[in-house]
Structure 1
Amino acid sequence: MLDSLPKSNSEEFYSVKNLNLYAKSDCKELATQMAKGRQLKIISPSIVDNAIKICLCEDHYPAWLSIEDLSFLKPASKPYSSTFISQEKIASLIPKIIEFTYLAMNTPNYYLWGGTVAPNYDCSGLIQSAFTSVGIWLPRDSYQQENFATKITINELRSGDLIFFGTKRVTHVALYLGNDRYIHSSGKEIGNNGIGINLIRGDLDIVSQNYYKQFWSCGRITQSLP
């Protein structure tokens, strides 16, 4: 099946459509999504359960690609190369990042585990996509984003910072809007089943209460992935 892929001199491929990528080779659990135009490397040419192991170039995320989707890959003319973005430039782009999340919220959506492509996102997928919309690449998962962000205290929060939640480890992330408000994509069990705005307080709506109990840390994005 891999023989049908044209040779890539860069050893990388780009996708001509949005693709689902999976956590395991059985392709049952969505891990992330590959937006049209993104690049990947094939980690191993061996086919396992009708899937191959790949790694996305922009955020270095490993996943499984169904061999049925190989036909949507084309050779990349050159290897992916990141672009340096200064801390000052990132700060200037925060209004556009926030605008992205508002537009996403105002489009009918629901929470999708592994979702990074509109209209349905998971928590870290929304955050990654919002920053990517202005050329800033973050790691894929919420705990990775927490490690990547510059640590700040809750009293230092300003618009565009990230708020992390969890119990034993970080499992959820939101974008701070100011005035105790944050926007996030949350699931059915304790959240909004989609993108919504809540507050960092424990005396308001039930979703705000649920996440207030799980507050973990805060961070500021000061760099893009190398």
Structure 2
Amino acid sequence: MVSIAQLHALLAAEPHQEFCCAMNLNLYDSPAMKSLATQAAVGRHLRVTDGSKGEIPQTAIAVELCEDNYPGWLAAEDLKNLTPATAPYRPVTLTRPAIHPHLSQAIAFTQAAMRQPNIYLWGGTVGPNYDCSGLMQAAFAAQGIWLPRDAYQQEAFVQTIDLEKAEPGDLVFFGSPDRCTHVGLYLGDRRYIHSSGKSQGRNGIGIDILADEGDTVSQTYWKQFRSSGRIIQSYVAQCPPSDVPNPD
């Protein structure tokens, strides 16, 4: 449990103090807290990115998640759901040989999520409601494999492969010629599972095909297909320096 006063004291002693989420928490895209940026599952580490040298806002606090450096705003009332981390987050570097045995489990995670009542939630990463990249990040994080948060970041992170060489557990990406805006998990036989929205998707998790002969949703995404990629490593975020002196 952390209060505003305790947060001041902790950050004065250690500006890079990490905190552990005692429950699933929402992180917002602005201090107005009107739209989700992402979510932090129980046990995730975060650090405060403002307030260590001045007044901490009373309503929303700028933070970033330690595992992927993803920024957001935490409601001050959720400070009570943080505890000081007993040890700093230590990233684990994984390569393809260590990742490959867990691909079937990542697929099983998405299929289990699909069987639960769910809707598409922009910023959702903890379930039952996910956005597209949040589902991918959660499925692999459950296996100890970290991916960047957003679809365009995931596309840049993986090793690009030809669709004809795609295997179950690879990722498939969609969007415009200029930018990736959507991601799914390849299942084989040109099928993929993804969480899609209301405007052109299923408002939740479903399975579609990469072909012209699919239904309207499949055809819509197939026209926006950009690339496929293979996860060959686990994402390792840069940690802040540990030798920064305390502020005066």
What is the alpha-carbon distance in structure 2 between the residues aligned to residue 217 and residue 136 of structure 1? 21
- 1:24 offset after TM fit, Å? 0.7
Higher radius of gyration, 1 or 2: 2
1:64 to 60, 70, 73: 73
Task: Tell me, yes or no, if the aligned pair for 2:208 and 2:214 is still in contact at 8 Å.
Answer: no
- 1:51-83 CA distance string (max 9 Å, x none): 111010011101111111111110001110011
What is the alpha-carbon distance in structure 2 between the residues aligned to residue 109 and residue 47 of structure 1? 36
What is the alpha-carbon distance in structure 2 between the residues aligned to residue 49 and residue 165 of structure 1? 40
Partner of 2:118, secondary structure, is: coil
The residue number in structure 2 matching 1:149 is 158
2:220 to 203, 210, 222: 210
Task: Tell me, yes or no, if the aligned pair for 1:23 and 1:30 is still in contact at 8 Å.
Answer: yes
What is the alpha-carbon distance in structure 1 between the residues aligned to residue 214 and residue 182 of structure 2? 19
Name the % identity.
Answer: 52
Amino acid in the other structure paired with 1:141: D
The residue number in structure 1 matching 2:41 is 35
Amino acid in the other structure paired with 1:42: V
Deviates more, 1:185-194 or 1:83-92: 83-92
The residue number in structure 1 matching 2:23 is 17
The residue number in structure 1 matching 2:169 is 160
Amino acid in the other structure paired with 1:72: N
The residue number in structure 2 matching 1:86 is 95
Whether 2:106 is the aligned partner of 1:100: answer no
User: What is the TM-score normalised by the length of structure 1?
Assistant: 0.96
Partner of 1:175, secondary structure, is: strand
What is the alpha-carbon distance in structure 2 between the residues aligned to residue 116 and residue 193 of structure 1? 15
- 1:203 offset after TM fit, Å? 2.0
Taking a change above 3 Å as real, the CA distance of residues 48 and 210 of structure 1, as seen in their structure-2 partners, is farther
Amino acid in the other structure paired with 1:31: A
What is the alpha-carbon distance in structure 1 between the residues aligned to residue 200 and residue 133 of structure 2? 16
Deviates more, 1:119-128 or 1:150-159: 150-159
Amino acid in the other structure paired with 1:192: R
What is the alpha-carbon distance in structure 2 between the residues aligned to residue 44 and residue 25 of structure 1? 12
What is the alpha-carbon distance in structure 1 between the residues aligned to residue 172 and residue 57 of structure 2? 38
Deviates more, 1:151-160 or 1:178-187: 151-160
Gaps of 5+ in 2: 237-248
Deviates more, 1:128-137 or 1:76-85: 76-85
The residue number in structure 1 matching 2:245 is none
Amino acid in the other structure paired with 2:192: Y
Amino acid in the other structure paired with 1:205: D
Amino acid in the other structure paired with 2:194: H
Task: Tell me, yes or no, if the aligned pair for 1:115 and 1:122 is still in contact at 8 Å.
Answer: yes
Task: Tell me, yes or no, if the aligned pair for 1:25 and 1:49 is still in contact at 8 Å.
Answer: no
Task: Tell me, yes or no, if the aligned pair for 1:25 and 1:48 is still in contact at 8 Å.
Answer: no
Structural mapping, 1:112-123, within 5 Å: 112-123=121-132
Amino acid in the other structure paired with 1:199: I
- 1:4 offset after TM fit, Å? 3.2
Deviates more, 1:127-136 or 1:38-47: 38-47
Partner of 1:93, secondary structure, is: helix
Deviates more, 1:187-196 or 1:148-157: 148-157
Runs of 4+ in 1 over 2 A off after TM superposition: 4-10, 46-49
Task: Tell me, yes or no, if the aligned pair for 1:201 and 1:212 is still in contact at 8 Å.
Answer: yes
The residue number in structure 2 matching 1:130 is 139
Whether 2:227 is the aligned partner of 1:224: answer no
Gaps of 5+ in 1: none
- 1:3 offset after TM fit, Å? 1.2
Partner of 1:184, secondary structure, is: strand
Amino acid in the other structure paired with 2:4: L
User: What is the TM-score normalised by the length of structure 2?
Assistant: 0.88
What is the alpha-carbon distance in structure 1 between the residues aligned to residue 230 and residue 30 of structure 2? 32
What is the alpha-carbon distance in structure 1 between the residues aligned to residue 157 and residue 69 of structure 2? 13
